[in-house]
Amino acid sequence: MGTSNQATITIETIVHSPVESVWKYWTEPTHIKQWSKASDDWHTPFAENDLRAGGKFVSRMEAKDGSMGFDFGGVYDEVSMNESISYTLGDGRKVKITFIGRDNETQIIESFEAEETNAIEMQQAGWQAILDNFKKYVETAKAE
């Protein structure tokens, strides 16, 4: 793993939806493919999710014009339904997501170890854009 002084970045949002719905939208591949992108010129044509400790996940994120793409994946360390998810990315960085349900709202707090290639501000903005896209997707999706 990276150096011992590796920065941790935290992002968050409040989604106006109960935690059970937020959990479903966050973890089901059908939904992941709809929200997992930082901007409208990207998409996620493939997502797979084995939601359990030791289970693997992967999402294929691609520019719609085909100019670039990458797999985002890792292995779950801990899964506590409707409460938290911890995982290790393919490059060894750790991520923790906490879901705090309050009535019809869910606060999502996501902390991740920064990688060393891109500026911290760029990483924070990119992950926040994906989280904001998730919020928009959940709040505009029709109840199933």
pLDDT tens per residue, range 39-71: 999 999 999 999 999 999 999 999 999 999 999
- Choose among 117, 121, 92, 111: nearest CA to 2: 92
Task: Provide Rg for the chain, Cα atoms.
Answer: 15
CA distances from 57 to 11, 17, 18, 104, 121 (A): 21, 24, 24, 28, 26
pLDDT tens per residue, range 8-41: 999 999 999 999 999 999 999 999 999 999 899 9
Give the residue-averaged pLDDT of 68-79. Answer: 96
CA 92/CA 94 separation, integer angstroms:
7
Predicted TM-score (pTM) of the model is 0.91
